[in-house]
Amino acid sequence: MTQRIVIPFGPQHPVLPEPIHFDLVLEDEHVVEALPTIGYVHRGLERLIEKREYPEYVYIVERTCGICSFIHSLTYCQGIEQIMGIEVPERAHFLRTIWSEYSRLHSHLLWLGCFADGIGFENLFMGAWRIRESILDVLEQTTGGRVIQSSCKVGGVRRDISAEKLDQMARDLDGIQKEIEDLTTVFLQDDSIRHRLKNVGVLSKEDAYHLGAVGPTARGSGVAIDLRQTGYAAYDKLHFEAVTEKDGDCYARCAVRARELFTSIDLIKQAIAKIPEGPVDIKVTGAPNGEYFSRSEQPRGELVHYLRGNGTKFLARSRIRTPTLTNVPPLVKMIQGCELADVPVIILSIDPCIGCMER
């Protein structure tokens, strides 16, 4: 009988910018069991709701994540607006959608770069991050911030984008699209990458669904869950199909993100073409009294903000369920049965955001 040994993986590891730990039970080089441990940097942000008035809490919420910060603030604001019955101007919904998709572009490009770095393809890493810079430039020009934008508020958005700037953004996206085509061609067709990712970390469609996988982790296994289909913000005015792959391996999850870059560009162009004139915010008075589970589609998947107001300026509860937390059980299943050398690639393939998870 082969002797079993336990190898600690993480919390510090070259492929992990943030801490997560696995106890890997091995038979030779074969992983037979994986036990995750999180909670190394839990920040307790949710309890700050008791000390910050609900309009101020937007600044806390968007600091849950240093990548998808805008979508956190959008999800929170939408929840408060639903509880208070606030009708946000239509233009604000479109601006929120545009910034959400730029956030998705920047997040997916960041991940593609990190993933390339993780498999030792440094040139591709630099190529992905070079394109990401042009996305961050637009976010900075239109909101004032590269990753922490603070442009979303309860009742609308803080900034408008001029018609000239929107036209320029649409034109620039044509050039960015061409660059992304060149980049993703390498990701999806290069032999060395296919060899490294194909049939590695396979998650079946049934496991993905019942274990709670969301985002590209679920869609890579053929589960077409994309909360944008529920029509929040301005998504009900735009047309798109959820990107799915069916193989459920690391390559499929990579391919979903690569193809979603083009979906995001298309959605931004549609939003720019359809954005109406008008105000971008309304004055908000009063305090929320009620509860709502506000859901949205982050780059990593379904995000849930549970919000409960008690009629005062301070909410009674804010609970943030991030996509990485719910992607941990599917990750455990992916690792079981793989080779030890594949573990870093498989962990990277769910695009783990520990900062989000340890909110």
Partner 1 sequence: MKYEAQTTTLVEVGRLIGRVEQFRSDGCRLVQISATKNGEMYEINYSFDKDYKFENIRITIPIDQEVPSISGMYWGAFVYENEMHDLFGIQVKGINIDYKGNLIKTTIKYPFGAGAVLKGEKP
The verdict on 230 binding partner 1 (CB under 8 A) reads yes
What number of other Cβ atoms are within 10 A of residue 169's Cβ? 19
Q: What residue spans of 306-342 are helical by DSSP H?
A: 323-335
Nearer to partner 1, 47 or 194 (CB): 47
Interacting stretch for partner 1, rule CB under 8 A, among 146-154, 157-165, 227-235, 278-286? Answer: 227-235
Answer left, alpha or beta for residue 45, where phi above 0 means left and psi between -120 and 50 means alpha. Answer: alpha
Given 55, 145, 290, 329, the residue binding partner 1 (CB under 8 A): 329
The site map against partner 1 for 38-67 (x = CB under 8 A) is: xxx-x-x-xx--------------------
Place of tokens 């719910």: 326
The verdict on 146 binding partner 1 (CB under 8 A) reads no
b/e for 100-115, b at 16 or more Cβ within 10 A?
bbbbbbbbbbbbbbbb
Interacting stretch for partner 1, rule CB under 8 A, among 52-60, 182-190, 255-263, 312-320? Answer: 312-320
The site map against partner 1 for 77-116 (x = CB under 8 A) is: -x---x-----x-x--x-----------------------
Rounded distance, CA 338 to CA 323, Å?
Answer: 23
Does residue 73 contact residue 152 with C-beta atoms inside 8 Å? yes
Q: CA nearest 185: which of 138, 127, 239, 101?
A: 127
Rounded distance, CA 241 to CA 7, Å?
Answer: 42
Q: CA nearest 175: which of 140, 137, 126?
A: 137
Rounded distance, CA 2 to CA 240, Å?
Answer: 51
Window 22 to 41, contacts with partner 1 (CB under 8 A): 35, 37-40
Given 146, 159, 295, 313, the residue binding partner 1 (CB under 8 A): 295
Interacting stretch for partner 1, rule CB under 8 A, among 104-112, 239-247, 315-323, 338-346? Answer: 315-323
Q: How far is the CB of 234 from partner 1 (least distance, A)?
A: 7
Window 155 to 214, contacts with partner 1 (CB under 8 A): 209-212
Question: Which residues would be at the binding site for partner 1 (CB under 8 A)?
Answer: 35, 37-40, 42, 44, 46-47, 78, 82, 88, 90, 93, 209-212, 227, 229-234, 236, 291-293, 295, 302, 304, 306, 308, 316-317, 319, 321, 325-326, 328-330
